[in-house]
């Protein structure tokens, strides 16, 4: 086995054993890290692989969460059916955005603006949709949480941790496979030079749409998890642009277009942000916005000193 696969096996073993070493609070932080590793991986398919910058990925989290949440709230239908609906809706939405952009040659920052616009007016739409509770939000019934009720995805924090671990590992494997397949090569060619890619027989319109569809479907699953983990959904929060930014920070810090970037970035950012919250609480400082300032400083430092993200530099050091 290569150094890389041995390291991967060790990491997997640690992640599986982790809950037995952690308390409840630490477990919730670990779950959050995996959540951002997963959503970062999903976003990376579009931006990192195919070069299409989305600044509105919160729209897929939100639509996915509301789709599965509504089924459960109104009809008592569990998330297994809900996740299918969520994925279908998000793929459809992604294809609409992608079709409009790629058909009318909207690219680069203008494409990014279009993704923000869709997230924003979806938020406003949900604010006026009484069926999902409007701006007042939607609350899923919280049952007793000692036993694992997999059918309704209700259970102790441990269940959510393992579910998120399975999702993050699955996304990692999927992305690793995609990168080595024809799709991965075509996406990277499109990212590097779209005109040259087209001259090599690549229908760039279709392959870009495929990247959007896969990314949207993956993110929709994160939305379903979000709904059943937090049990309350507000358009103001779930569709907010800061949520979209949160999703992209992990891969940007870790390394856009790499497999480990999103994982590493999510870990570093979540631990640092939690660490500083704790540290500030310990010394009794309560300065509003200090966490955001901290985020900004880390982001600046990484962009200045490691413009390709932490992972490429680290991988060289570790000779992976």
Partner 1 sequence: MSLLDVRSVSKHFRGLRAVHEVSFDVAEGGIQGLIGPNGAGKTTTFNMIAGVYAPDTGEILFAGRAIHRLRPDEICAAGIGRTFQIVKPFAGLSVLDNVMVGAFLRERHAANARAAAAKILERLGLGAKRDLPASSLTLPDRKRLEVARALATRPKLLLLDEVMAGLRPTECDQMVAVFRELNRADGTTILLIEHVMRAVMALARQIAVLHHGALIARGTPEQVVRDPAVLECYLGEETEV
Binding site for partner 1 (CB under 8 A): 180-182, 185-186, 188-189, 191-193, 195-204, 257
Between residues 257 and 265, which has the closer beta carbon with respect to partner 1? Answer: 257
Q: Enumerate residues 6+ apart whose C-beta is below 8 A from 253.
A: 261, 264, 265, 268, 269, 298, 299, 302, 309, 310
Closest approach of partner 1 to the CB of residue 191, in Å: 8
Say what the alpha-carbon torsion angle 164, 90, 251, 37 is, to the nearest 10 degrees: 0
Tell which residue, 38, 2, 30, has the closest CA to residue 319: 2
Kind of pairing between the strands at 232-233 and 138-139? antiparallel
Least distance from C-beta 299 to partner 1, angstroms?
Answer: 22
The residue (of 123 and 191) whose beta carbon lies closer to partner 1 is 191
Residue 161 or 311: which CB sits closer to partner 1?
311
Q: H helices of the chain, where?
A: 3-17, 24-44, 58-75, 79-103, 109-127, 157-180, 182-192, 194-199, 204-230, 235-238, 241-254, 261-283, 290-305, 310-318
Give the nearest distance from C-beta 256 to partner 1 in angstroms.
Answer: 11
Q: Residue 208 Cβ, how far from partner 1 at the closest point, in Å?
A: 12
Among 255, 304, 319, CA closest to 37: 255
Of 189 and 247, nearer to partner 1 (C-beta) is 189
SS3 141: coil
- Give the shortest CB-304-to-partner 1 separation in angstroms: 21
> Nearest approach, Cβ of 12 to partner 1 (angstroms)?
25
Nearer to partner 1 (CB atom), residue 145 or residue 182: 182
Q: Which is nearer to partner 1, 191 or 243 (CB)?
A: 191
How many other β-carbons are positioned within 10 Å of the β-carbon of residue 18?
Answer: 14
Give the phi and the psi of residue 270 in degrees, each rounded to 5: -65, -45
Least distance in angstroms from the C-beta of 75 to partner 1: 43
Q: How far is residue 253's CA from residue 309's CA, in Å, rounded to a whole number? A: 5
Nearer to partner 1, 67 or 210 (CB): 210
Backbone angles phi, psi at 138, to 5 degrees: -125, 135
Output the smallest distance, CB 271 to partner 1, in A. Answer: 29
Complex with partner 1: residue 202 or 252, whichever CB lies closer: 202
Q: For partner 1, which is the closer residue by CB, 192 or 236?
A: 192
- 80's CB contacts (< 8 A; 6+ apart) are 151, 153
Distances (CA, A) of 216 to 17, 39, 174, 229: 31, 10, 14, 20
Residue linked to tokens 């955001």:
292
* In the complex, minimum distance from the CB of residue 219 to partner 1, in angstroms, rounded to a whole number: 25
């Amino acid at each position: 086995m290569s150094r890389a696969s041995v390291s991967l096996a060790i990491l997997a073993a640690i992640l599986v054993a982790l809950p037995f070493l952690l308390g409840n609070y630490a477990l919730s932080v670990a779950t959050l890290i995996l959540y951002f590793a997963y959503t970062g991986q999903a976003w990376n398919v579009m931006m990192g692989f195919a070069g299409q910058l989305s600044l509105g990925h919160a729209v897929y989290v939100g639509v996915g969460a509301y789709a599965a949440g509504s089924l459960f709230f109104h009809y008592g239908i569990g998330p297994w059916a809900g996740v299918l609906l969520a994925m279908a809706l998000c793929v459809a939405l992604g294809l609409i955005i992608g079709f409009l952009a790629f058909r009318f040659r909207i690219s680069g920052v203008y494409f990014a603006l279009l993704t923000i616009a869709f997230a924003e007016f979806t938020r406003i739409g949900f604010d006026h949709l009484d069926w999902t509770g409007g701006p007042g939000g939607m609350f899923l019934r919280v049952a007793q949480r000692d036993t694992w009720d997999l059918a309704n995805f209700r259970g102790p924090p441990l269940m959510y941790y393992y579910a998120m671990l399975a999702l993050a590992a699955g996304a990692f494997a999927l992305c690793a496979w995609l990168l080595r397949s024809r799709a991965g090569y075509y996406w990277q060619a499109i990212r590097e030079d779209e005109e040259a890619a087209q001259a090599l027989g690549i229908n760039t319109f279709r392959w870009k749409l495929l990247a959007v569809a896969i990314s949207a479907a993956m993110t929709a699953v994160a939305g379903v998890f979000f709904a059943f983990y937090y049990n309350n959904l507000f358009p103001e929060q779930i569709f907010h642009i800061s949520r979209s930014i949160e999703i992209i920070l992990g891969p940007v810090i870790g390394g856009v277009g790499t497999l480990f970037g999103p994982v590493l970035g999510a870990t570093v950012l979540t631990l640092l942000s939690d660490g500083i919250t704790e540290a500030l609480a310990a010394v009794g400082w309560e300065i509003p916005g200090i966490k955001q300032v901290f985020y900004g400083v880390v982001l600046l430092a990484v962009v200045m000193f490691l413009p390709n993200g932490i992972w490429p530099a680290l991988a060289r050091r570790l000779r992976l």
